[in-house]
């Protein structure tokens, strides 16, 4: 359902978005996870900082996160200035 999240995924799973290198440069506003950073540092033998991403998210959670971004950033920075905007999503 709309408010029911799927089962959480392990942060060590290949399906966890934090393990996808394509997202790393975009995660500058997400807080660090001390636990994940410590585990990854011990595993790799070098200091590794990991961001804290949701391990499960319902459609409601996704909308609660994205709609404010749309109204606070995309509308004033682009739409109000007459710019074209393309928004896409997957698997929602």
Name the pLDDT band for 92 (thresholds 50, 70, 90). low
The larger pLDDT score, comparing residue 54 to residue 78, is at 78
Q: Using alpha carbons, select from 86, 63, 65, 62 the residue that is nearest to residue 74.
A: 86
Whether the predicted pLDDT of 91 surpasses 70: no
pTM: 0.62
Q: What is the pLDDT of residue 26?
A: 78
Q: Report how far residue 64's alpha carbon sits from residue 71's, in angstroms, rounded to the nearest whole number.
A: 12
More confidently predicted of 9 and 29: 9
Q: What is the pLDDT of residues 19-68, one digit of tens each?
A: 888 877 777 778 888 998 999 899 999 998 888 888 898 989 988 988 99
Residue 4 has pLDDT above 90, yes or no: yes
Give me 75's structure tokens: 């509308």
* pLDDT band for position 85 (cuts 50, 70, 90): very high
């Amino acid at each position: 359902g709309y408010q029911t999240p799927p089962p959480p995924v392990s942060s060590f799973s290949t399906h966890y978005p934090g393990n996808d290198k394509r997202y790393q440069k975009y995660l500058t506003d997400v807080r660090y996870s001390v636990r994940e950073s410590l585990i990854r540092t011990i595993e790799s033998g070098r200091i590794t900082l990991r961001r804290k991403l949701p391990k499960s998210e319902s459609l409601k959670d996704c909308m609660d996160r994205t709609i404010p971004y749309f109204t606070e950033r995309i509308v004033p920075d682009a739409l109000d200035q007459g710019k074209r905007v393309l928004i896409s999503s997957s698997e929602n």
